[in-house]
Amino acid sequence: MGSSKSKGRRNQRSHRSSSGPTPPRSSTVAAQPAPKVRGGWLTAMLIIIVIHAIFTAVLLISYHKNPGVTREVLWAGAFLVALLEIASAVVMWFWKKWGLYLFVAATLASIGFGLVIYPSMLVAFHAIIPLGILAYILQAQNKLKLFE
* CA pair distance 111, 103, nearest whole angstrom: 12
Q: What is the pLDDT of residue 29?
A: 58
- Read off the pTM: 0.71
pLDDT tens digit string along 8-50? 555 555 555 555 566 555 555 566 766 778 889 999 999 999 9
Q: What is the pLDDT of residue 31?
A: 67
Q: How many CB atoms lie within 10 A of CB 143?
A: 17
Q: Is 83 left (phi over 0), alpha (psi -120 to 50) or beta?
A: alpha
* CA pair distance 111, 105, nearest whole angstrom: 10
Say which range, 37-41, 102-106, 113-117, 132-136, has the weakest mean pLDDT: 113-117
* CA pair distance 148, 144, nearest whole angstrom: 9
CA 120 to chain CA centroid, nearest Å: 33
Confidence of residue 135 (pLDDT cuts 50, 70, 90): very high
* CA pair distance 23, 135, nearest whole angstrom: 48
Q: How far is CA 71 from each of CA 31, 60, 131, 144, rounded to the nearest angstrom? A: 57, 11, 28, 39
More confident residue, 128 or 27: 128
* CA pair distance 65, 99, nearest whole angstrom: 31
Q: What is the mean pLDDT of residues 81-87?
A: 95
pLDDT tens digit string along 49-83? 999 999 988 887 887 666 777 778 888 888 999 99
More confident residue, 132 or 15: 132
Confidence of residue 88 (pLDDT cuts 50, 70, 90): very high
| Residue of 41, 131, 140 lying closest to 84 (CA atoms) | 131
Q: Element (H or E) spanning 1, and its range?
A: none
Confidence of residue 5 (pLDDT cuts 50, 70, 90): low
